[in-house]
Amino acid sequence: MSTGQPRSEEFQPFGLPVGSVRGILSLMICSFFWILLLVPWETPPTAPLAHFFLLTLVFLSFASDPFQDIRATAIFPLVMRVLFVGGSIAVVVYVGFKDPARLGHQLTPSIHELPEWPVLLGCLAGGFGTSLILRSILGRTNPFFYSIRAWIGVIAFFLLFAETIFQFAILPKLSDKPSIQAMQVWEGILIASVAAYFGSRA
């Protein structure tokens, strides 16, 4: 039975307050959509299907956890939540008011990507579930698990950063676009990595 006391002995990734890394990753996921919608593209691209799966992880940033007393004194996670929630609402409202047709077009994945959803869903569930199982085996307060969790967070951060650079700065300039299969592998790795971190903190 829970005593209501915060488990302060659990080491948090990078020494940040509880929820900070998830907040940063959520902000990166949401900012992808901000860039997509706010840049005045000559030919507006549509959001990749994989990013809608990533978006589902953002909702996990609101999941409750047993560190209520710690959370109450931590400002940074709250700031992150205000940024990615408030920023997303502001961008959608602005674009929806200025050009509602563009909003609908860009937030509708390409029909050619729809057959990929079972694989992407499997990567999401696989990454999330693997971390849950690993945490159950090693224990939440195991030092080795701390190291694994921290490295997963670093990898997820850099993969999200690389994805943003690739989609907006590199891919539009490529004359020979990557194959659907190659993109599916890359997006699967991206989803599994980010989901793994969220799973390790669930």
pLDDT, tens digit (0-9, with 9 covering 90-100), for 47-104: 999 999 999 998 876 654 544 444 545 687 778 888 888 999 999 999 999 999 889 9
Pairwise CA distance, residues 199 & 129, whole Å: 7
HSE toward the beta carbon, residue 73, CA cutoff 13 A? 6
How far is the CA of 66 from the CAs of 15, 33, 111, 202, in angstroms?
A: 18, 31, 42, 11
pLDDT of the residue at 64: 44
pLDDT, tens digit (0-9, with 9 covering 90-100), for 116-156: 999 999 999 999 999 999 999 998 888 899 899 999 999 99
**Is 118:188 a contact under the CB 8 Å cutoff?**
no
Pairwise CA distance, residues 173 & 185, whole Å: 21
**Is 32:1 a contact under the CB 8 Å cutoff?**
no
Pairwise CA distance, residues 201 & 199, whole Å: 5
**What whole-number percentage of the chain has pLDDT above 90?**
57
Pairwise CA distance, residues 163 & 157, whole Å: 10
pTM for the structure as a whole: 0.85
For residue 156, give the 3-state DSSP assignment. Answer: helix
| Tokens representing residue 86 in the block | 């408030």
For residue 111, give the 3-state DSSP assignment. Answer: helix
Residue 65 sits at φ, ψ, to 5 deg, of: -145, 170
Higher pLDDT, 183 or 80: 183
